[in-house]
Amino acid sequence: MKVAVVMGSKSDYPKLEEGIGLLRKYGVEVLVRVLSAHRTPRELEEFIKEIDEEVDVIIAAAGKAAHLPGVIAANTLIPVVGLPIKSSTMDGLDSLLSMVQMPKGIPVATVTIDAGLNAALMAMQIMSIKYPKLKEDLKDYRDEMARKVLEDDMSLRG
């Protein structure tokens, strides 16, 4: 089980950190890179070729024009989860729209703005089709979330 996490800028890392931790907690190998669709296109293309046979899902995080997930998706058949990052100009709406407005034939699964944990969970759900243990881990994760909500409910009912 292996996920590549690619971000357009190192400043995006804090939005990905929690999700990377979750992936590693459940035994998923995580390859983390900083590559830009615009500033390092040759290196990005080479990286995509290198990982083609070894990675199950790619999480691509980018802000502003946010072309990174789309460029990656156009160059591989590995599922791509796009993570729009809040930028200084349009609060991440520009990034979100760049990702969800992909042309026909080149899909990018996209989570909400700055939602690194959900990007990791989406990657795990995709991989759970191939890895039954991961599916069980996800069931346990959801059960734990439900338990916490019910505990909170009980604490307020006093």
Question: Is 53 a domain residue?
Answer: yes
Question: Is 149 a domain residue?
Answer: no
In this prediction, residues 10-35 reach a mean pLDDT of 98
Q: Count of CB atoms within 10 A of residue 112's CB?
A: 11
Please tell me the predicted confidence (pLDDT) of residue 36: 96
pTM reported for the whole predicted model: 0.94
Question: Is 151 a domain residue?
Answer: no
Please tell me the predicted confidence (pLDDT) of residue 114: 97
Q: At what angle do helices 132-157 and 116-127 cross, to 10 degrees?
A: 140
Domain coverage including residue 32: 2-131
Q: How many domains does the chain have?
A: 1
Question: Is 37 a domain residue?
Answer: yes
Point out the least confidently predicted range of 5-14, 41-50, 86-95, 131-140. Answer: 86-95
Q: Is the pLDDT of residue 158 over 80?
A: no
CATH of the domain at 96: 3.40.50.1970
Question: Is 144 a domain residue?
Answer: no
Question: Is 140 a domain residue?
Answer: no
pLDDT tens across 33-92, in order? 999 999 999 999 999 999 999 999 999 999 988 999 999 999 999 999 999 999 877 899
Question: Is 141 a domain residue?
Answer: no
